[in-house]
A and B are shown apart, each in its own frame.
Chain A
Amino acid sequence: MNKHVDKRTVDMQVIGGWVEGDSRVLDLGCGAGALLDYLSQTKRISGVGVDMDPAKIAACVRRGVVAYQGDMTAFMRSFSEGHFDRIICSRTVHELSDPAEVILEALRAGRTLTVGFVNHGFWRNRLDSLFRGRKVRNVVYPTAWFESRPANPVTIADFEDFCAAKSIRVAHRVFLRGDWKTSCRFRPNLFAGYALYDLEKGQAVTC
């Protein structure tokens, strides 16, 4: 296993620990369907993925993962409240043009929402900007700016503020250090490379 594959495993295992067996799961930005494939084999979930990229949908179909090509917000709007037991937004949230809209819609169509993202407040990412004066480039974001998709980098501090402002209840949070393995408890916004949130709709969610 190379380093990249290893990082993917950690992410899946944490999410897998939160997913209930035989539940109905929606993966926003499902890519080639690796996470849903893993969850259906380990948790017997009935899953569906949404992605804009036709090549990713074809990859899902090949491996037997149910996938829908289209806009994730429009997709979620076609379902009744709480239709999905869990919606997963893993490494997608930083590419959304309107993250609040997607997250609030996901907390309507899903009973729970799992969000995972690379913490741009991680000290290495800060140093990268400070000393190199360039766009962050690492294993997860290997491309130069001119060949990258539009990004909306998010930090743990930003996300905590957002959840508080929208009264979103955080059922669990997991912060991982730069190796994406070891748990990080001390000043996560500075020392965590990766963050995972298990969210539920709060008492008063307003748009």
Chain B
Amino acid sequence: MTDDSEQAAGSAPGAPAPGGVGIVRPRDFVHPHAFQFKSGQQLPGFVLRYETYGALNTTRDNAVLIFHALSGDHHCAGWHSPEDRKPGWWDNLIGPGKAVDTGRFFVICANVLGGCQGSTGPSSVDPATGRPYGVTFPFVTILDMVRAQKLLLDHLGVAELHAVIGGSMGGMTAMLFAIEFPGFVRRVVAMATTARESAQAIAFNEIGRQAIMQDPAWNNGVYPADGGPRVGLAIARMMAHITYLSDASMDRKFGRKKKETAAGDGYTFDVQFEVESYLRHQGASFINRFDANSYLYITRALDQFDLAQAYGSLEKAYAPVQAETLILGFTSDWLFPPEQNRAIALALLRGGKRASYAELATDLGHDSFLLESEQLYGLVRGFLERERHEFDFAI
């Protein structure tokens, strides 16, 4: 054990959100040994940036591993400083007394291998050349992400995971974790996810990649840290962002509302509608926090992920799973629609596994899994905290 496995979260005085995990500090796990990717390529070592909340118990089996989605990161709860505009991306779900109760569980979340928020990825410097890896970085797969995070858990001294939880890409990683390390995981919660992307989802990712690669500033992946294909990456993000929402939610939020600054007659290509302004803002803020090459690598990892193809069939893929699973679909999710989530639960059940499926009626699209929903909290909490009980008619 090293000092970085201590509890990082504490309720600092003046913490922005009472009831949350307070001010948190990211840490780096350095794996100093060679790491072999599924592609056969190698890295001499890697770093994973991660955060933890709550405390590991003496039996080291109360850990909950959170997996983030494509553009997410390790900062899933709490605040880095009182001046932060927003807390971690799943702060509504994770914290003391929340659905994932940090008073009971030791919660861990790491930025994926290949990412750009502190973990080793294409924007990291290749020690062999002294320059960023760029497209010489090994092709990363969901399996590589899972294996790297297992090394982090070993480093933290986790004996067994109480649960792995993730939405979207995080749901893929969570399921694959339970396949690869079956004896290590007791529960899986996978939401708004899929066992393999449909043609439509691959198509959207490809447009994003083309937007980046067709930007001359991409320059075959060789660009300075503060430069690169900013236009292409912003367009990729704008387009992808639409796939995370829904027609109904966009209509409610923006409708046909015009910007106050918009010219009255509309005969201009400047921003006219609120939704245009919103998307431009999404694109502009994304390029300041995300690396274009990482976007290429991670979307490619998403597209390549196909459990049925990798294992022969979905049933064969899930055959080793020992964990009990809760799959959650969202009615308005058209990126990874309910049918694809149901297919996971059905394949697990066909294989004789314990797998439940619930479908939440929301009109907020794919990102529904991130939104505040008592129904969602109830399902997650009930699944994580239930204990053996004597049969009781009164329940």
Contact = CB atoms under 8 A, between A and B. Distances in A.
A15 interface: no
Interface stretch (A59-67, A116-124, A127-135, A149-157): A59-67
Interface string A8-43: 110000000000000010000000101001100110
Interface in A53-106: 54, 57-64, 66-70, 75, 78-80, 83
Interface in B334-379: 342, 345-346, 349-350, 352, 354-361, 375, 378-379
A38 B350 contact: no
B224 to A, nearest CB: 50
B382 interface: yes
Contact of A58 (B324, B349, B358, B393): B358
B393 A8 contact: yes
Contacts of B379: 57-58, 61
A130 B390 CA distance: 45
Contacts of B391: 37-38, 41-42
| Size bracket, chain A contacts | 20 to 34
A41 B386 contact: no
In the complex, which of the residues B355, B356, B390 has the most CB atoms of chain A within 10 Å of its own CB atom?
Answer: B356
A87 to B, nearest CB: 13
A78 B391 CA distance: 30
A54 B356 contact: no
A63 B389 contact: yes
A69 to B, nearest CB: 5
B89 interface: no
A5 interface: yes
Contact of A61 (B358, B389, B390, B393): B358
B358 A24 contact: no
B382 A34 contact: no
B205 to A, nearest CB: 28
Interface string A106-147: 000000000000000000000000000000000000000000
A195 interface: no
B252 interface: no
Contact of A64 (B352, B359, B389): B389
Interface in B123-174: none
A74 B152 CA distance: 42
Given A54-B375, A58-B378, A63-B386, A32 B395 contact: yes
B359 A70 contact: yes
A167 interface: no
Nearest to A38: B391
Contact of B345 (A34, A63, A68): A68
A103 B77 CA distance: 49
A9 B392 CA distance: 11
A97 B375 CA distance: 28
A79 B345 CA distance: 12
Contact of A79 (B350, B357, B388): B350
A5 B391 CA distance: 13
Contacts of B349: 48, 66, 68, 79
Given A41-B391, A61-B326, A68 B382 contact: no
Contacts of B357: 57, 67-70
B383 interface: yes
B356 A60 contact: yes
A24 to B, nearest CB: 7
Nearest to B354: A66
B352 A46 contact: yes
A54 B355 contact: no
Given A68-B357, A70-B357, A61 B395 contact: no
Contact of B346 (A5, A24, A54, A78): A78
A46 B351 CA distance: 12
B386 A68 contact: no
Contact of A54 (B360, B383, B389): B360
Nearest to A12: B393
Given A46-B352, A48-B349, A57 B358 contact: yes
Contact of A69 (B358, B378, B386, B389): B358
A120 to B, nearest CB: 26
Given A58-B379, A61-B379, A66 B355 contact: yes
A58 B375 contact: yes
| A-B pairs with lowest CB-CB distance, top 3 | A62-B382, A41-B391, A57-B358
Interface of B: 324, 326, 342, 345-346, 349-350, 352, 354-361, 375, 378-379, 382-383, 386, 388-391, 393, 395
Interface of A: 1, 5, 8-9, 24, 32, 34, 37-38, 41-42, 46, 48, 54, 57-64, 66-70, 75, 78-80, 83
9 contacts: A1-B393, A42-B391, A57-B357, A58-B375, A61-B358, A61-B382, A62-B382, A64-B388, A67-B358
